[in-house]
Amino acid sequence: FPRVIPWWEKWWPALLLLAVLLLLVWLVRRARRTKLINAPLDPFVRAERDFQRLDRLALNEAGEQGRFVALALEVLRTYLSVRIPAASLALTSDELLLAVAPDSRVPTQRLAPLLSEGDTIKFGRSPINGADARELAVEARGIVSAVEQAEQARRAAEKAQEKLRKRAK
């Protein structure tokens, strides 16, 4: 009897090659998608996006005012830690105030009461109503905006000085 060879024994190298090519295509697409997703954002854009996400969660309206304030302060602290190297997330509120005090971009007179109030809410479980929670979140957002405006002014001044240096040469 002649030996009958099943079709998969003849075609398995081609099927293996096709599977490897499909795997490579999938890996390339996944890498591109991951690169687009993990592209670094500007700290201000990221903070604004996080504040918008916090608003969409509607924690304040759901009766979670303490959590709402804590997350708003977390967005503020994350922004400050990226914008100001000395403002690490590992610092306590008092240490954070000491770390950012020399930086003229940070409105410490606004930041100090906000962090103090936030600490009493987060750690002391101080009760807070919805209007006060919203006010604290708006203040956190305002501080982020103020720091960003000061940063933009600093960058504009640096660019102007650089242009003057180039003209002088």
Chain segment 1-59, per-residue pLDDT in tens:
788 877 777 788 888 999 999 999 999 998 888 776 666 778 999 999 999 999 999 99
CA–CA distance from 43 to each of 9, 19, 82, 160, 164 (Å)? 57, 42, 7, 23, 29
70 pLDDT band, cuts 50/70/90, is: very high
Q: What percent of the chain has pLDDT over 90?
A: 73
The whole model's pTM is what? 0.74
Other CB atoms within 10 A of residue 70 CB: 18
Helix 93-100 crosses helix 65-83 at what angle (to 10 degrees)?
A: 30
Higher pLDDT, 39 or 69: 69
Average pLDDT, stretch 100-112? 93
Average pLDDT, stretch 131-153? 95
Q: What is the pLDDT of residue 151?
A: 93
User: What is the rounded distance in angstroms from the CA atom of residue 45 to the CA atom of residue 38?
Assistant: 14
Token digits of residue 168 = 């002088």
Asked whether the beta carbons of 123 and 115 are under 8 A apart, the reply is no
Average pLDDT, the chain: 91
User: What is the rounded distance in angstroms from the CA atom of residue 169 to the CA atom of residue 164?
Assistant: 9
User: What is the rounded distance in angstroms from the CA atom of residue 33 to the CA atom of residue 147?
Assistant: 32
Q: What is the pLDDT of residue 6?
A: 78
Q: What is the pLDDT of residue 94?
A: 94
3-state secondary structure of 14: helix
